[in-house]
Amino acid sequence: MTQLMGRPILGLPSELGARSPLADLLTGVRTALFTLAVVTLPILALWLVDPHAEDTAAGAFRLACGLWLLGHGGPMARGAEGVPVTVTPLLLTLIGAVLLHRAGRRIGRRTLRRGRARRRACQALCAGYLVVAGVAVTQCSAPEAPLRAEPLPDLLAVALLAAASLWLGTRSAPEGSGAAVTAVMARRVPMGAAGAAGEADEVDEIGWELDQGEEGDRDGPGEGGAAAGWWRAVRWPGWATPVGAWPVVGRAVGGWLLGMTAAGGTVLTAAVVVGGAGTSALTLGGGTSGYLGLLLACALLLPNAVLWAATYALGPGFAVGTGTVVAPTGTRLGALPDFPLLALVPGAGHAGGGGDGTAAGVVAGLGWGVVACGLPLLAAALPALLVGRAAAGGERRWGVVATATAGCGVAVGGAVAAAGAAWAAGGALAARRMSELGPVPWQAGAAAGAWLLGVGVPGALVVRWWLTRAGAEAHAPSGSTGRIWGARVRVGVYRAVVWAAGAGQRT
């Protein structure tokens, strides 16, 4: 009867709660439908308020499905000739990635460790997401669709974005402790009952399994997982190895990206203030629905414009057609489509631009490009500060070479991230002249690496030297600071006298 006196287990903790694959499948469907609704509802609202709409509600829904697939990086075709459209509206990409990341984080918290349960949950969620993608591809495969899908590339692009976002979400989930879960479960099991001995053993087995992983597919010992193992495999000398540098490098690259995003936003804001986007919108807008449609299009492409402006500040600039370039060193343009965001380009509407009488031309004449190029200098100060602080602090301080090595790692990471962002922000709107839009990836990556090598590495060394010197003086015995500076002055005077005496003997 003693087993009846214990408090029964009413339910497992949320981290251990079982969840059926069908529930994860429906979660993926719900996430995809939410992201689809973000673009579908505004388009249907525009269709309702437009008194001269020639298309049906089905056509408006097909347009929304096409934009949704385009937002996942899938290539689309337009018109009877199949004109390629590959410019990704990054606002939709960000919304989908954030929602999928949150879903992956919830899966990571629920499954605690990487293993079969986590993989099954992610696969089911991806399958549900792809079900909605399949419906969107079917809608865009009709001949009357304004944006026609390419089924295999579009589904592959959706799958890649979903898998990458879920993986990052599960990786960012806080790792639970199997011992802690065992203790929690043990408190809820009547340990004094003879009939509950099997339950206690099961709880211990669950806790051990959580600690060890279901299949042992963990990153391996040490900080940084596989990346840290590769770092150790290179066999760097001890004096050149920045201990625990991977988290610091990751934070520094993230700080650099945030700084460059702020720089791009600053350049874009200044261009909006002095540019001709409002005039272009007034020219193109045909009533309330026309203005709202332009506003929706500009909102979807706003992250692209920020990245274009950031690449402009980096130096290489961007292209708005084959044979064109918009950079601080000069602007070479041809005829541009009438679109508010393109009206912000310096010299827009004047082939060769830069010397016209518009406000954009005046700003260019005042050296706005030079001012914009100073923003990456400020952005590179943040990773320099982070790396320098890590080099001077911690249990094991980094030497000069180790600090420079970490700074070079930040430069490589920043260059790769900049190239990837430039690739995602560009694309094509047509087959001929408008087949090249946006920054050139390798140029953006090279410029980012050059800024981080030229500013970030020396800045990190300066910060390390300053903090190390300040720390040495702070830990010096009372009254020794004055003696240290006095000794430095005497040594300097002695060296000057010796140099002067040697110079007199030579003459």
Residue 279: the pLDDT is 54
Phi, psi of 439 (to 5 degrees): -70, 155
Residue 358: the pLDDT is 45
Question: Is 217 a domain residue?
Answer: no
Same domain, yes or no, for 163 and 247? no
Q: 65 in the Ramachandran plot: left (φ > 0), alpha (ψ -120 to 50) or beta?
A: alpha
Same domain, yes or no, for 129 and 252? no
Per-residue pLDDT averaged across 110-127, rounded? 83
In this structure, is the dihedral angle defined by the CA atoms of residues 309, 310, 312 and 318, taken in order, positive or negative?
negative
- CB 326, CB 312: distance < 8 Å: yes
Question: Is 203 a domain residue?
Answer: no
- CB 428, CB 436: distance < 8 Å: yes
- Summarised one tens digit per residue, pLDDT across range 196-251 is 444 444 444 444 344 444 334 444 434 444 444 444 555 556 656 777 788 899 99
Same domain, yes or no, for 164 and 261? no
How many structural domains comprise the chain?
2
Where would I find the beta strands (DSSP E) of 276-390?
319-320, 325-327, 330-332
pLDDT at 295 over 90: no
Residue 196: the pLDDT is 42
Same domain, yes or no, for 432 and 336? yes
Question: Is 57 a domain residue?
Answer: yes
Same domain, yes or no, for 275 and 128? no
Domain that holds residue 67: 21-172
| Per-residue confidence band for 11, with pLDDT thresholds at 50, 70 and 90 | very low
Question: Is 63 a domain residue?
Answer: yes
Angle subtended at Cα 478 by Cα 475 and Cα 484, rounded to the nearest 5 degrees: 75
Kindly state the tokens that stand for 206.
């669950």
Kindly state the tokens that stand for 282.
């007034």
Same domain, yes or no, for 155 and 258? no
Cα 327 to Cα 370: distance, rounded to the nearest angstrom: 10
* Residue carrying the six token digits 């840290």: 228
- Summarised one tens digit per residue, pLDDT across range 436-495 is 898 999 999 999 999 999 999 999 999 999 888 765 544 444 445 456 656 666 666 667
pLDDT at 143 over 90: no
Residue 359: the pLDDT is 44
Cα 372 to Cα 378: distance, rounded to the nearest angstrom: 11
Residue 110: the pLDDT is 82
Tell me what the pLDDT averaged over the chain comes to: 77
Same domain, yes or no, for 387 and 306? yes
Cα 360 to Cα 259: distance, rounded to the nearest angstrom: 24
- Summarised one tens digit per residue, pLDDT across range 59-80 is 889 999 999 999 999 999 987 7
Kindly state the tokens that stand for 100.
């999928």
Cα 484 to Cα 420: distance, rounded to the nearest angstrom: 50
- Summarised one tens digit per residue, pLDDT across range 367-391 is 666 778 889 999 999 999 999 998 8
Same domain, yes or no, for 297 and 428? yes
Question: Is 232 a domain residue?
Answer: no
- Summarised one tens digit per residue, pLDDT across range 149-200 is 999 999 999 999 999 999 999 988 776 444 344 444 444 444 444 444 444 4
Question: Is 228 a domain residue?
Answer: no
In this structure, is the dihedral angle defined by the CA atoms of residues 29, 32, 34 and 39, taken in order, positive or negative?
negative
Give Cα separations from 198 to 4, 195, 209, 444 (angstroms): 15, 7, 16, 62
Same domain, yes or no, for 282 and 406? yes
Distance of CA 505 to the CA centre of its chain: 64
pTM for this one? Answer: 0.76
Per-residue pLDDT averaged across 328-338, rounded? 79
Residue 305: the pLDDT is 93
**Helix 116-140 vs helix 21-49: crossing angle, to nearest 10:** 30
Same domain, yes or no, for 336 and 411? yes
Question: Is 53 a domain residue?
Answer: yes
Residue 274: the pLDDT is 74
The residue count for the chain: 507
Last residue of a domain, one of 127, 148, 172: 172
Cα 45 to Cα 288: distance, rounded to the nearest angstrom: 12
- Summarised one tens digit per residue, pLDDT across range 13-59 is 444 445 788 999 999 999 999 999 999 999 999 888 875 666 788 88
Residue 332, strand partner residues: 325
| Per-residue confidence band for 347, with pLDDT thresholds at 50, 70 and 90 | low
Question: Is 231 a domain residue?
Answer: no
Same domain, yes or no, for 341 and 418? yes
Residue 503: the pLDDT is 58
Same domain, yes or no, for 152 and 276? no
- CB 418, CB 426: distance < 8 Å: no
Last residue of a domain, one of 145, 172, 199: 172
| Per-residue confidence band for 395, with pLDDT thresholds at 50, 70 and 90 | low
Cα 7 to Cα 412: distance, rounded to the nearest angstrom: 57
Residue 437, strand partner residues: 320, 427
Residue 350: the pLDDT is 40
